């Protein structure tokens, strides 16, 4: 997510990469909480590249607000109860941040004030409709291009060029630098200080997805900070672990009622790589490729919820939805971490997808199957544009089969 290239990423689930030794769990377990009642019924609203909202940059404040209101109303009509709004898509902000510039996806020009406060307004509008608002941040992505000169002159990445790595035609902050982790954490927590958001939400981008023939150049950071680790992969995982634990601690200190959730790529590791892994054959494994030990975060309850992106149909041989929902349910059992399933509504009716996705009932079958596992406490749909348009009626089928009555979100 930040999900502009997700379709290409998830389509490549074919072969397992080589094994990498597992990192040991670090301290930082969150206090266990009662399960309570309720059901997550959510949708993501992606702002990167204007995927869901605003429909294009440069709309007036009134037009942007009207489009946002329409998406929130669509969520209510679908009997959803949570909206996950992307508010920091590329090291920028959809609120008046003292740390980072206004997002270019609002006005077309990074750093230009849009004439209103989108995040503050979104919180107010969502709560008025009985919706929870989860603020979605991408920690390390700086730009969807590789030219620092295109960033606004005051951008922190231009003031601190040593923080930035160019990789795969994009710019990223280097997770191996302690000063970067401190900066991105404080930039994100500013929104928690300002607004009563119901949760902080990360997606699947930590270290970037692998690009064939390219190397993420963090040699200097590793030479400076990685000496205590057996290999670079273990050091990189520790860097991501630190961000997760430190963000969780910051949220608790600033606004204790705000939750913290992460939506990772759906495969932690394949069983062929690790006996604890899922019976899958994914070409991407978060532990090895994104250096994100999502299993540890869930089992050690460092986060309040995990929402793996299970973007494959039932019976898909390399990564079967049925196998992954079973694996994740077993993983969180007894941990205190809530499990929600990320659902690929965007695939429904897409002619480039397998035949299962041409059937409006495919997603409804996901919810039916998930109910066999009591650990699954709800579903989040990618994304808002498809919830509103529902081109083949897949969302309407979910509502008819499973959402006949409104439901309160989990407490």
- Which pLDDT tens digit goes with each residue over 331-365? 999 999 999 999 999 999 999 999 999 999 999 99
Cα separation, 261 vs 52, whole angstroms: 21
Strand partners, 143: 171
Q: Which of 26-35, 118-127, 340-349 has the lowest average pLDDT?
A: 26-35
**Alpha helix segments (H runs only) across 129-177:** 156-159
Is residue 168, in this structure, part of any structural domain at all? no
**Overall number of domains in the chain:** 1
Residue 10: its pLDDT value, please? 39
Q: Which of 32-41, 265-274, 389-398 has the lowest average pLDDT?
A: 32-41
Contact between 267 and 284 (Cβ < 8 Å): yes
User: At what angle are helices 178-194 and 118-128 packed, to 10 degrees?
Assistant: 50
Strand partners, 381: 43, 343
Which residues lie below 8 Å from residue 293, measured CB to CB, with a gap of 6+? 22, 23, 237, 240, 241, 268, 286, 287
State yes or no: pLDDT of 17 exceeds 80.
Answer: no
Is residue 157, in this structure, part of any structural domain at all? no
Contact between 259 and 176 (Cβ < 8 Å): no
Residue 37: its pLDDT value, please? 66
Is residue 227, in this structure, part of any structural domain at all? yes
**pLDDT band (50, 70, 90) for residue 291:** very high
Is residue 130, in this structure, part of any structural domain at all? yes
Q: What is the pTM of this model?
A: 0.91
CATH code, domain carrying 119? 3.20.20.80
Is residue 409, in this structure, part of any structural domain at all? no
**What residue has token string 């609002």?**
106
State yes or no: pLDDT of 114 exceeds 50.
Answer: yes
Residue 410: its pLDDT value, please? 86
- Report pLDDT digits (tens) over 214-259: 999 999 999 999 999 999 999 999 999 999 999 999 999 999 999 9
Residue 190, domain extent:
6-140+175-402
- Report pLDDT digits (tens) over 140-156: 999 999 999 999 999 99
For residue 231, the 8-state DSSP code is S
Is residue 304, in this structure, part of any structural domain at all? yes
Is residue 166, in this structure, part of any structural domain at all? no
For residue 387, the surrounding DSSP H or E stretch is: helix 384-389
**Residue 147 neighbours by CB distance under 10 Å:** 10
Is residue 293, in this structure, part of any structural domain at all? yes
Q: How do the residues of the chain divide into helix, strand and coil, expressed in percent and rounded to 5?
A: 35, 15, 50
Q: Helix, strand or coil for residue 203?
A: coil
Q: How does the average pLDDT of the chain come out, rounded?
A: 92
* Residue 275 tokens, joined: 């006996």
């Amino acid at each position: 997510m930040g999900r502009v290239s997700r379709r290409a990423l998830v389509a490549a689930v074919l072969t397992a990469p080589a094994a990498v030794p597992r990192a040991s769990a670090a301290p930082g377990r969150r206090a266990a909480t009662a399960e309570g009642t309720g059901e997550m019924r959510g949708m993501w609203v992606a702002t990167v590249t204007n995927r869901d909202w605003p429909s294009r940059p440069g709309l007036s404040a009134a037009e942007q607000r009207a489009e946002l209101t329409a998406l929130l109303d669509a969520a209510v009509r679908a009997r959803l109860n949570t909206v996950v709004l992307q508010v920091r898509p590329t090291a920028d902000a959809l609120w008046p941040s003292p740390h980072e510039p206004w997002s270019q996806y609002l006005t077309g020009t990074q750093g230009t004030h849009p004439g209103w406060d989108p995040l503050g307004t979104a919180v107010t509008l969502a709560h008025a409709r009985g919706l929870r608002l989860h603020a979605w941040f991408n920690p390390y992505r700086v730009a969807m291009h590789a030219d620092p000169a295109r960033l606004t002159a005051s951008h922190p990445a231009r003031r601190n060029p040593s923080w930035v790595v160019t990789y795969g035609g994009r710019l990223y902050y280097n997770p191996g630098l302690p000063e970067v982790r401190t900066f991105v954490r404080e930039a994100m927590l500013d929104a928690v200080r300002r607004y009563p958001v119901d949760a902080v939400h990360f997606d699947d981008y930590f270290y970037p997805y692998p690009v064939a023939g390219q190397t993420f150049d963090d040699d200097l950071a590793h030479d400076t900070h990685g000496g205590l680790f057996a290999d670079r992969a273990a050091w990189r995982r520790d860097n991501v672990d630190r961000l997760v634990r430190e963000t969780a601690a910051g949220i608790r200190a600033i606004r204790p009622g705000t939750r913290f959730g992460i939506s990772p790529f759906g495969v932690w590791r394949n069983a062929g790589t690790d006996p604890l892994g899922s019976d899958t054959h994914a070409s991407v494994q978060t532990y090895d490729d994104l250096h994100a030990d999502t299993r540890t975060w869930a089992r050690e309850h460092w986060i309040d919820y995990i929402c793996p992106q299970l973007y494959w149909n039932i019976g898909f041989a390399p990564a079967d939805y049925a196998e992954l929902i079973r694996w994740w349910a077993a993983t969180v059992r007894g941990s205190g971490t809530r499990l929600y399933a990320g659902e690929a509504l965007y695939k429904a009716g897409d002619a480039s997808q397998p035949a299962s996705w041409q059937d409006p009932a495919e997603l409804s079958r996901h919810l039916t199957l998930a109910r066999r596992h009591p650990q699954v406490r709800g579903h989040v749909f990618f994304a808002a544009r498809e919830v509103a348009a529902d081109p083949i009626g897949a969302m309407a089928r979910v509502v008819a089969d499973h959402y006949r009555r409104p439901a309160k979100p989990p407490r």
